Amino acid sequence: MQYHLNGFKPGNLQVGDASRVPPSAPPLRELPDQVDVLIVGTGPAGLTMARQLAEFADISTCILDLKSGPMLFGQADGISCRTQEIMAAFDCSEILAKEMYQLHRNAFWEADSDNPEHIKRTHKVPDARIGLSEFTHGVVNQSRLHDLLLEGMANSVTHLVPDYNRQLVNLAVDEALTQDFTAYPISAQFKRTDKSDDSPLETIKARYVVGCDGGRSSVRQHLDIAMVGDSTNKAWGVMDILANSDFPDIRVKSFIQSKNHGAVMVVPREGGYLVRLYVELDLLEKHQRAANLDLGVADIIRQAQKILTPYQLDVKEVAWWSIYAVGQRVAERFDNTTAEDQIPRAFLAGDAGHTHSPKGGWGLNTSLPDTFNLGWKLASVIRGQNQPSLLKTYASERRKVANMLINADREMSALVATKPNAETEANTSKTAEIEKFIARQNGFIAGTSIGYDESYICTGMQHQHLATGFAIGQRFHSAMATRLVDGRPVHLGHLNKADGRWRLFIFADDKSPLAADSEANKLFKFLQESEQSPINRYTTTGQDIDSVIDICAVLPQQDIEIQDLPALLWPAKGKLGLHDYEKVYHTCNEHDVFTQRGINRQAGCVVVVRPDQHIGTLLPLNAHDQLSAFFEPIMLLK
Ligand SMILES: Cc1cc2nc3c(=O)[nH]c(=O)nc-3n(C[C@H](O)[C@H](O)[C@H](O)COP(=O)(O)OP(=O)(O)OC[C@H]3O[C@@H](n4cnc5c(N)ncnc54)[C@H](O)[C@@H]3O)c2cc1C
């Protein structure tokens, strides 16, 4: 797909250049007096939070932003494999994959030793992330991802839309009420940004608040949570441009280190013409802010042209630009609690909890998974399904990721920004080190190797040998299987939708699942019939049997009739009692998940997947008691 030939046009890329119009803001409305969840900020963290909560008719949510409407330009553009897996949970990964620039190669350029004023390609390599996921790392305007989330919210049962032109100015948490889960301990005040300063403030009471309000988070300041870390002294320029260039890798992600003028990163963008350049600029004085530098887009272009010598860069249009300097900092807490036994009511997510340089493309790709982690926990606690203590695990799981991000960014920033000078001239050849860094950190960069430490919601490491390719704590690594009833190949990972449900993936043993001595058969019967079955314990009478815990069976055998299997595997659902035939799969030669994920063929196993696609535990098929015990500290009895 090609777009922006006659100039950059924001909006729905499924609509041609000639007729595309920018998305508009919903009409302003009066704010509600009280809600279950208040989300401040409509960046990727806020929208991912809202998108999940919007699916529950019994949760009231309000999401606000000081901006006047949806984002149109700029900011993050790299969409990691993991982010696309998450977008698959919202059913919009295909559209992103279609629209985005897909990153297949990286090129490395340095000063030409024969003519040091010129740059020369040292090498080009396949992107290290290829094969880590069914998705390829891509590049597309952050606003497209926002649009897809906004569309999903508007089309959901709650028809949730953001309230723009609202700036959070005060936030108070009534500590006396925080451990009463029916109470509304949060009180937030908003100023209208489209009106004069003396217009009256609007107040909302909330049971929970999620601060997704970016690096200068007002929620964080009101919660009195400090940022820990360093600020940088290096300014960078970033610009999205429509340009002509004879630089041979203008459509390949390139790391360029010149001898005397600093570094440039070339990031080709969606649509074939647009390209983003990150350009190394000046050192800042102590306490000097990048925004106060007397530099503009013309300076960024001039600097890029110097670095790219001998190649030409003829900029025809600048779609967006910015100058920034960001240090590596993490919030000292990700929620409002200071004691182990307190249940949090206020959370920080995204850039509000971690700031770092944008060059690694990790901002959006860490912010969105933050709230993908928190969303299901908060929804299930509000709906009375899960224990409130589950909310403590958000900070412990995601703060660790933030620290990993900060360390990786510190390393990457030092490698990319290596303006040579007399002292460092001897080792200015940094591109080989960048390549090594990318190869070493490829799982982290792709987001696919991010795992949570052992806890009561990530446990059972002693059984890991039963399926070595499904790492407990990491996301369920998708693989294909064939649907039994109609022979359709399906990505198992894409069954993990963002609907708050847990999923049991049962990889059957090598006996026929119809035989009485098959462990899979015994497990199906336990789940269907036993009072101890977590499905029976936590599903309320009248609910569909898969509404809390869904099930997916993968059989090594193909010649089975679904009706011969226990009814749990083709349950009657909905008001018409129609059978769901999409819960049983089998392997075939092209799609052998047992081989691909190192599953013990003889014994099989059950993989318990959390609503955020991470693996909660992995158990032998006959570990019925352990399966029940796993859910006990998490769930509340019906
Ligand atoms: C100018 C800029 C340039 C960037 N460039 C890049 C880049 O080139 N590459 C890259 O990977 N990343 C870049 N980033 C970072 C990337 O956009 C973020 O990491 C990512 O968007 C974080 O998502 P978030 O949802 O946590 O916060 P944000 O996307 O920052 O969203 C926060 C939202 O909160 C709103 N808000 C803030 N304060 C209040 C308040 N008091 N009341 C109400 N609303 C409020 C803001 O208007 C904003 O919409 C850039 C960020 C900025 C700000």
Assess contact for 188 and 208: CB atoms under 8 A.
Answer: no
**433 CA to centre of ligand 1 in angstroms:** 30
Please give the C-alpha separations between residue 132 and each of 82, 393, 401, 442, 447, in angstroms, as whole numbers.
Answer: 9, 27, 19, 9, 9
Q: Which residues contact 150 (CB under 8 A, 6 or more apart)?
A: 23, 47, 70, 161, 162
Instruction: Please give the average per-residue pLDDT across 367-383, as a whole number.
Output: 98
> CA–CA distance from 414 to each of 234, 266, 407, 635 (Å)?
10, 18, 11, 45
β partners of residue 514: none
Q: What is the pLDDT of residue 427?
A: 44
Three state DSSP letters for 194-219: CCCCCCCCEEEEEEEEEECCCCCCHH
Q: Name the phi and psi angles at 196, rounded to 5.
A: -70, 160
C-alpha distances (whole Å) from 69 to each of 12, 35, 46, 584 are 15, 22, 14, 44
Express each pLDDT in 154-165 by its tens digit: 999 999 999 999
441: its two tokens: 């950190």
Q: pLDDT class for 437, splitting at 50, 70, 90?
A: confident
Ligand 1 atom at minimal distance to the Cα of residue 45:
25
Residue 81 has pLDDT above 60, yes or no: yes
Residue 84 near residue 97, CB atoms below 8 Å: yes
In sequence order, what are the residues at sequence separation of 6 or more whose Cβ sits closer than 8 angstroms to the Cβ of residue 469? Answer: 477, 479, 596, 597, 598, 599
- Chain centroid to Cα 143, Å, comes to 15
Tokens for 535, please give them: 């499905």
* Mean pLDDT calculated for residue range 530-557: 96
Instruction: Tell me the average pLDDT of the chain.
Output: 93
pLDDT bin (cut points 50, 70, 90) of residue 283 is low
CB atoms within 10 A of CB 469: 13
Mutation to probe ligand 1, out of 38, 72, 75 (largest number of atoms < 8 A from CB): 75
CA of 217 to the centre of ligand 1 (A): 10
pLDDT of residue 57: 97
Angstrom distance (rounded) from CA 54 to CA 57: 7
Atom 9 of ligand 1, nearest CA residue:
76
Q: DSSP string of 258-296? A: -SSS-EEEEEE-TTTTEEEEEEEEEEPPTT--GGGSS--
Q: Grade residue 285 by pLDDT with cuts at 50, 70 and 90.
A: low
- CA nearest to 544, candidates 567, 514, 520, 521: 567
Ligand 1 centre distance from Cα of residue 364 (Å) = 8
Ligand 1 pocket (Cβ < 6 Å) reads 40-46, 64-67, 75-76, 78, 142, 167-168, 212-214, 218, 238, 322, 324, 350-352, 358, 361, 363-364, 367
What is the pLDDT confidence band of residue 232, given thresholds at 50, 70 and 90? low
What percent of the chain has a predicted confidence (pLDDT) above 70? Answer: 95
Residue whose C-alpha is closest to residue 613's, from 90, 51, 50: 90
Sorting pLDDT into bands at 50, 70 and 90, what band is 464? very high
pLDDT in tens, 153-204: 999 999 999 999 999 999 999 999 999 999 999 999 999 999 887 889 999 9
Side by side, the strands of the sheet bearing 605-609 are 489-491, 480-483, 584-586, 549-555, 502-507, 605-609, 615-619
Left if phi > 0, otherwise alpha if psi is -120 to 50, otherwise beta: which for 52? alpha
Q: pLDDT class for 426, splitting at 50, 70, 90? A: very low
Each residue's pLDDT tens digit, 338-349: 999 999 999 999
Q: What is the DSSP letter of 342?
A: P
Over the stretch 607-632, which tens digit does the pLDDT of each residue have?
Answer: 999 999 999 999 999 999 999 999 99
Q: Return the ligand 1 atom nearest residue 41 CA.
A: 34
Residues found in the chain? 638
Q: Is the pLDDT of residue 429 over 70?
A: no
The alpha helices in 16-72, defined as continuous H runs, are 44-53
Residue 623 CA to ligand 1 center (angstroms) comes to 46
Ligand 1: centre distance to CA 432 (Å)? 31
Q: Residue 222 burial by CB count (10 A; 0-12/13-18/19+): exposed, middle or buried?
A: buried
475-478 own/partner pairs: CB under 8 Å, 24+ apart? 475/82, 475/85, 475/448, 475/450, 475/612, 475/613, 475/614, 475/615, 476/505, 476/607, 476/609, 476/613, 476/614, 476/615, 477/133, 477/448, 477/597, 478/85, 478/133, 478/134
- Is the distance from CB of 348 to CB of 217 less than 8 angstroms? yes
User: In the predicted model, is pLDDT for residue 242 greater than 60?
Assistant: yes
Report how far ligand 1's centroid is from the alpha carbon of 41 (Å). Answer: 9
What is the predicted pLDDT for the residue at 290? Answer: 58
CB 286 within 8 A of CB 277: no
Q: Is the pLDDT of residue 424 over 50?
A: no
So what's the pLDDT on residue 74? 76
- The span from the CA of 375 to the CA of 61, in Å, is 12
Asked whether the predicted pLDDT for residue 287 surpasses 80, the reply is: no
Q: Write down the pLDDT at residue 195.
A: 86
Q: Which amino acid is at 497?
A: K
Ligand 1 atom index nearest CA of 355: 19
List b or e across 605-625, with b for residues whose CB sees 16 or more CB atoms inside 10 angstroms: bbbbbbbbbbbbbbbbbbbbe
- Give the pLDDT of residue 107: 95
Q: Is 96 exposed, middle or buried (0-12, 13-18, 19+ CB in 10 A)?
A: buried
From the alpha carbon of 167, which atom of ligand 1 is closest?
Answer: 42
Which atom from ligand 1 is nearest to the alpha carbon of 363?
Answer: 19
Q: Count of CB atoms within 10 A of residue 375's CB?
A: 25
Angle at 230 between CA 224 and CA 234, to 5 degrees: 130
What integer pLDDT is reported at residue 423 of this predicted model? Answer: 47
* Residues 408, 411: Cα–Cα separation, whole Å: 5
* pTM assigned to the model: 0.95
The domains located in the chain, with CATH, are 34-100+140-229+330-403 (3.50.50.60), 234-325+420-446 (3.30.9.10), 461-631 (3.40.30.20)
301 in helix, strand or coil? helix
- Of 48, 33, 10, 29, give the one whose Cα is nearest residue 165: 29
> What's the pLDDT at 282?
67
Q: What angle do CA 234, 235, 241 make, to 5 degrees?
A: 145
- The residue ranking higher by pLDDT, 341 or 326, is 341
pLDDT over 90 for what percent of the chain? 82
Mean pLDDT of 69-85: 93
Residue 127 has pLDDT above 90, yes or no: no
Residue 325 pLDDT > 80: no
Helix, strand, or coil here: 126?
A: strand
Ligand 1 centroid–CA 215 distance in Å is 7
Residue 384, exposed/middle/buried by CB under 10 A (0-12, 13-18, 19+)?
exposed
**The most confident of 45-49, 359-363, 422-426, by mean pLDDT:** 45-49
* Ligand 1 atom closest to 351 (CA): 26
- Whole-number Å distance between alpha carbons of 49 and 36: 13
Q: How far apart are CA 309 and CA 311, in angstroms?
A: 5
User: Is it the case that residue 360 has pLDDT exceeding 80?
Assistant: no
Please report where in the chains the tokens 């009101």 appear, as a residue: 222
Mean pLDDT of 30-57: 98
Confidence class for position 230, pLDDT limits 50, 70, 90: confident
| Atom in ligand 1 nearest the alpha carbon of residue 350 | 26
Does residue 10 have a cis peptide bond before it, meaning omega lies within 30 degrees of 0? no
What pLDDT sits at residue 422? 43
The pLDDT, as a whole number, for residue 458 is 98
| Structure tokens given for 35 | 């809600």
- Examine the pLDDT at 75 and tell me if it is beyond 70: yes
Better pLDDT: 300 or 230:
300
Confidence at residue 491, expressed as pLDDT on a 0 to 100 scale: 96
